[in-house]
Amino acid sequence: MSAVRWGRGAAGFGRALWPAGAPGLLAEEGALGAVWGRKRSSTASPCEQDRRKDWGHAELLEVLKARVRQLQAEGVAEVTVKRVAKRVAVARAPEAGGAQPPRQAQAGAEGAAPMLSSRWAQKLDDDQRLMERRKQRLEGKLQKHVEKVAWQKQLRSEPRLLSRKLASQLQHWEQGVPRSPWEEQLAQLLQEAPQGRSGEAAAAPADRGPESRLEGQRQRLLSFFECCLLTGNLPLAHHVLVTHHSKSQQQRLLTLSMYNLVMLGWARQGSFKELMYVFFMLKDAGLAPDLRSYAAALQCMGRLDQDAGTIRRCLKQMAQHGLQLQGLFTAVPLSAEERAELLRAVRKAKPAFTPPRPPAPPLQVNTSPLLREIYAKDPTVSYPRLHLSLKELQGLFRQQLRVEMATTVTVESVEKVPLLTKEVLHARKTLAGLRTRWRTALYRELQETKESEAHAAREGRLSLFPYLCLLSEKEVVGMLLQTLQALPAQGESLLFLAHELGLRVFKRKQLRNEVQELEQRYSKYLHLLASDTQVAEPCLPRQHWEALGVPEAPHEQPWPMSVVVQLGKQLAEVLVRAAQMPSSLAAPRSPGTLIPVLYHVYSFRSFRQIGILKPHPAFTQLLETAAERTLTFESTDVPMLCPPLPWTSPHSGAFLLSPTKMMRSVEGSQQHQLLLERCPPAELHGALDALTQLGNCAWRVNGRILDLVLELFTDKGCPRLGVPAPPSEAPRPPEGRQAPKGCLLPEVSPAEKAEMRRELARRLKVAREMQSLRADALYRLSLAQHLRHRVFWLPHNMDFRGRTYPCSPHFNHLGSDLARALLEFAQGRPLGPHGLNWLKIHLVNLTGLKKRESLQARRDYADELMEDILDSADRPMTGRKWWMEADEPWQALACCMEVAQAVRAPDPAAYVSHFPVHQDGSCNGLQHYAALGRDSVGAASVNLLPLDLPQDVYSEVAAQVEVFRRQDAEQGVRVAQVLEGFISRKVVKQTVMTVVYGVTRYGGRLQIEKRLREIHDFPQDFVWEASHYLVRQVFNSLQEMFSGTRSIQRWLTESARLISHTGSAVEWVTPLGIPVIQPYHRDSKVMIKGGLQSLTFSSSVDTSQKPNTLKQKNGFPPNFIHSLDSSHMMLTALHCYRKGLTFVSVHDCFWTHAADVAVMNQVCREQFVRLHSQPILHNLSRFLIKRFCSDPRTSKSIWVSRLMDTLLSVPKAGTFNLEQVKHSTYFFS
């Protein structure tokens, strides 16, 4: 039974187990009475009344059962039941009237009694068994409660103080000297508290030096205490606090926040003695109490109704420490009940005290010149509204609330439905039986694991016990069974599984309980978005939500990575031990012994030996045969069914109940979150509002495309169109002489063995990739089918550079061509006079055929192809299939269908289109570099200049590479000759696009290799050599064409190298005010011992480690450019929202309705010019000098001196005029 539920009233259990009239239990009653007493309350609770009713029934059953036994023994035919008496009277009636022979009447009476007695006895036996089961359950609960009480008595509560004076003072206090009651002792203790060391100093150690190495241990200890309080294990938290405090080495790990946390727990229970113990330890550690310490003490006094004198002395001492009384009510997070108890205590000492009203949110205005227009008050502005009414949105809110409270979503799989043969039905029945058995075994294993971890906790160690108690056993068992169901046939690494399981516990551990209050406020918030409501003044969603006075959500501290992995590893081992199946499933003739479902094996991946949990092949086969049609997702992994909560802080927004971070980062990393917390709230308004705007876009599924994709998916897939094939189509291991066993043949040469191993590895890799792609497509398509008739939303957050991403990982618009084609706007807009033209242009863009033609030429080309377009729309799988030749075939097909409907409409301008039209930047990274350096040559290459025809940098690079290839081919270079006719824009595009973002030659070679393998006519034997050759030529071409941007890249790289040599990670602030820090540090090894295997993993986010110089310098240029393109996107999003447009983005690809493309294009260009009109590089230089070169203690360092010289040498700008961008047709097109 979960420790969360251990706190129920034992008195009720004691009375429930007192069976009056049950002699065998009288001895137990005496024992129970010694603990709780036998006095009964005159006003029983409903729960108590139910228990009494149960035992009343039990007593009645005992009496009736005894009576039946008596009647059966005596053979008496008369039973005191009305129904029986009536039958006996009827039986005797003929005897008086002569209609029935007397013997028959007597026999009938005698036969009825045993029959009725038998039925009564059967019923009584059934009821007795039921009552026995109830009694056993109650006894089990009682036993666990008694065990917990006994366990808590073993936990230490009295501290062992290191200071002799304090130890003597504590002993004097415990002896209860009459003139020194414990209330006065607190006041004395506060007066003697040291003034020199603050709690904050202990809680936030220096970033450098030995102290920072303790940070990981402190995080783990703090998370342990938090979990203890959440799960009702406060005595355990106190015990561990006392144990650590008693040892000087371990005491260094304790911070003021930990002491305060335990004090708050005792204050909530009104346990002043234990709270005093913590105060003694706090003073013994040399810490000074802060507002939270005083709030805990005063709250406890309020609960115990202490005298005014003690409270007055406490308040006086608080003032001497420089703490304001009002701060208790404004700076300390309190629940309504805690606030009331605190106020009660204060008013005893100061009856006239009135707590300050919750301060109105200070009028914080973002001062960035880039956002001045966004936050300027304008009553004429018209923000967009949704197409749904208030009532509809409220209904959607309730649906989403149910989903999040359930924590999981179950959807039907789109895999092909098998015929329900006897074999399938038998497999499903077998699985159901196994799961029932596993569920019981998992409960048992969980309880045993908790007992083991509780024993470790009693010894003062940081065990996993409170973490295991965070979720109910039912939730944990369900989660483990889901994990078993989803495990692939080839298995999964134990480290990966442990990480995933630990994260799932962390994400589920705490849902906010203020559901009713949330519903009321959310309903008011919907007045801003609904189509049939009005608000007094137009404002942004965040501003409207804050005006409702919504309290800030509690901040969720992340768990250290070691805790996440250790907890997940423990749960994985529970699953391994509990999941067993009969050996007959694997070998029908084998004896019916139980064998494990999961096996722990070792395998080599990338030259490293890793532990893998692999399912038994018989279990995998059983799953395949059963072909169950359900998939289970976490509620935070699927789109929302109502508009997300607006982002109001770095940890408040998106989902209704599930905590979500605004900035995603590697688990265990806190540096990004700390930067955001220290940042003034107004500085983040731009990012918060942009994320909210992106998440408020309503979506729906394109059902026509989904049907076609499902048709292919349930057949054999179509990899050419991005529909993965099923595992049955994966390459099989070689057979015959080439089989793996062939390596053992003596006549096989070493070269042949090596080739056979390579071929086997290649086939296994392809099979794994196909399995992964198939699973990804299965999740996406199943969710699409689940949502096909619904409106849904995609809440967004961002990475550490400011780039935005949907929170839903499986179904969103950031994926492949297929993923994008499945989505369209839920809210439509009439095409207007120019919308149809933009649809045609967009269709031609998707084909990739007219990249260097004008917009008018693309429209004309679409008109020429109208017959093919309409054929594709009408007969996509049986017609000429023109759409399949496009670069983005599924999006092209979706656009064909939209164009067909528009041109066939009576009035195309009035046709309501839901189709998103894209405008893509021309190698956006190079555009930002050209604008930063005012590079005229680079600007012309990436369409910053207004020209009649678009400049396609990818085609230019491909042309330059072709020149180099032709020269080498004439000189007899074999690979250059083989590549004739295969060098295209598509082959080099990804490498050109990512060079500016820091891709290496190795990464570029892999990109080109992948493109070459997609060309069926290219000789595969030359792929490796050709990719090496091409990546070298691509880099040479870029060096010639974009030499102007190299100076900025070199300056950024050298600055980052010198910063990392000073011992710091690179930091900067984006033009929109988002603080950025690069999370690249030297790897620290973390080992978790014991169990199936010892897990070792590397963590690069440990801030106590020195920065990784290579990653810092290589990452700074691309990360800085990414922060600029995210700033440009956010500015465009906010200004489009202000103009009433629907806007979403995929980084540097902007989407809107066809009717609004022209407006979005204008906004996009204006905001790019405004962004780069700021002195971005000079602002960066000033920030870095202030951050890394202004400390007098390091100013004499040779690295700091070199850094200062480098930062002052900002690259000189060219002569390019930014205003020209506003008139460039092909800047985004």
The residues annotated as belonging to the active site are 920, 989, 1148
CA distance 374 to 1207: 33
Q: What separation in angstroms does the CA of 1064 have from each of 1058, 1107, 1200?
A: 9, 6, 11
Q: Specify whether the CB–CB gap between 1025 and 975 falls below 8 A.
A: yes
Q: Locate tokens 């979990």: which residue?
A: 227
Q: Specify whether the CB–CB gap between 540 and 382 falls below 8 A.
A: no
Q: What separation in angstroms does the CA of 113 have from each of 60, 87, 89, 102?
A: 21, 10, 13, 17
CA distance 733 to 716: 20
Q: Is 1160 helix (H, G, I), strand (E, B) or coil?
A: helix
List of residues 6+ apart from 732 with CB closer than 8 A = 763
Per-residue H/E/C for 248-280: HHHHCCCCHHHHHHHHHHHHHHCCHHHHHHHHH
CA distance 943 to 953: 9
Q: Output the DSSP codes for 835-848.
A: HHHHHHHHHHHHHT
CA distance 667 to 1086: 14
Q: What separation in angstroms does the CA of 1111 have from each of 354, 926, 1081, 1203?
A: 56, 21, 8, 18
Q: Is 595 helix (H, G, I), strand (E, B) or coil?
A: strand
CA distance 942 to 952: 7
> How is residue 430 written in tokens?
């077998």
The alpha carbons of the chain give a radius of gyration, in whole angstroms, of 37
CA distance 502 to 499: 5
Q: Is the dihedral of CA 228, 232, 234, 240 positive or negative?
A: negative
> How is residue 761 written in tokens?
């590895």
Per-residue H/E/C for 1020-1046: HHHHHHHHHHHHHHHHHHHHHHCHHHH
268-273-276-277 Cα dihedral, nearest 10 degrees? -110
Half-sphere exposure of 259 (CA within 13 A, CB side): 35
Find, among 221, 194, 193, 218, the residue nearest to 204 by Cα: 218
3-state helix, strand, coil in the chain (%, to 5): 60, 10, 35
Amino acid 227 reads C
Q: Specify whether the CB–CB gap between 567 and 505 falls below 8 A.
A: yes
By the 10 Å C-beta count (0-12 exposed, 13-18 middle, 19+ buried), 1219 is classed as exposed
CA distance 1118 to 1121: 5
CA distance 877 to 277: 77
Q: Where would I find the H helices in 1062-1174?
A: 1109-1138, 1157-1172
Find, among 964, 966, 1111, the residue nearest to 1031 by Cα: 964
Which residues pair with residue 916 across a beta bridge? 1153
Beta strands 792-793; 1149-1153: pairing state = unpaired
CA distance 19 to 965: 96
